[in-house]
A and B are shown apart, each in its own frame.
Chain A
Amino acid sequence: MFLQSFAGGLMIGLAAVLLLLGSGQVAGVSGVLGGLVEGRGGAGGWRIAFIAGLALAPVLLLLAGGSVPGRLELGWPAIVGAGLLVGFGTQMGSGCTSGHGVCGLGNLSLRSLVAVSTFMAVAAITVFVVRHVLGRG
């Protein structure tokens, strides 16, 4: 499990470097998607191409007979609430796990270090409250 996580991390890092040195763009998923939602600039082609590649990865894996681990087992109010928070929060905070984490930390950005520390700590507190205070999950 540890080796797989590390190998996956290396692949994610390589993908980010490919986009950075090949296209001059930061591979932050919330930034790439947010730019499309906001309609920022005229040239959104690279954004659509990146998201299409991201979405095609699991489809190719399933077609090849593989499986994609991951099931979201929550009631719909929690799913909608969490989705709204993630969408709004990542735009307000200018990044998510990939933009601030994979890229911003790689760029030795203090803003990103503060953002990553904040969302990691708040997420851990949230899980603590949901699991150990409210007793769910």
Chain B
Amino acid sequence: MAPRNFVAGLLIPFASGLLFGFGLIVSGMTDPLRVQAFLDVAGHWNPALALVMGGAVAVTLPAFAYLRRGGRTLAGPAALPDRTALTPPLLAGSALFGIGWGISGVCPGPGIVIAAAGSLPALMFVASMVAGMAIHAWWRRRPAADAADKAQAAGA
């Protein structure tokens, strides 16, 4: 359920996005060369960026534990993913994302941040990323995908 009042629906998401953006910049994740240095385990490996996800997960762990134990949010029940199955699209999609991330050193959040900072190549990256998302939405809506979903649901 999407939050609709001003605080939960606009103010908090805006503040969260802002803090998220500052965090990405401080952490070094907005620098594609540093991201690639982190991914380059066979070269001059720079492990610093492992601390970004480590630090972030250290903060999110207790919040999710609180929700799993029936804790409530200010906006009512949280919209948490309920799927648990390891599916082919999960693996294939993550692999495709990994190729794009490796080539560019840019994942979605940092892409938006450096595009907004005025980098024209980053703007082209974000436009292509949005196009990729739109292509996926179109591909999911094709009749064959519907039929496959129904077959999987019937078999499950």
Residues of A within 8 A of B (CB): 1-2, 4-27, 29-30, 33-34, 37-38, 41-47, 49-62, 68-74, 76, 78-94, 96-98, 100-111, 114-116, 118-128, 130-132, 137
Contact = CB atoms under 8 A, between A and B. Distances in A.
B51 A119 contact: no
A52 B17 contact: yes
B24 A12 contact: yes
Given A33-B133, A89-B97, A23 B54 contact: no
A25 B117 contact: no
Given A8-B26, A23-B74, A90-B108, A14 B133 contact: no
Contacts of A125: 98, 102
Main secondary structure of the interface of B (DSSP, over half): helix
Contacts of B54: 6, 9
Interface of B: 1-4, 7-34, 36, 39-43, 46, 48-49, 51-61, 63-64, 66-68, 73-81, 83-86, 89-119, 121-122, 124-137
Contact of A49 (B14, B66, B68): B14
Contacts of A71: 31-33, 114, 119, 121
A73 B121 contact: yes
B114 A72 contact: yes
27 contacts: A1-B46, A12-B23, A12-B27, A13-B56, A15-B18, A16-B59, A23-B8, A24-B75, A27-B20, A56-B21, A69-B25, A72-B105, A80-B124, A82-B104, A82-B125, A83-B128, A86-B106, A87-B136, A89-B93, A89-B95, A91-B93, A114-B90, A115-B94, A119-B95, A119-B98, A131-B40, A132-B42
A100 B53 CA distance: 11
A104 B79 CA distance: 13
A38 B23 CA distance: 27
Contact of A97 (B66, B107, B113, B130): B107
Nearest to B88: A92
A33 to B, nearest CB: 6
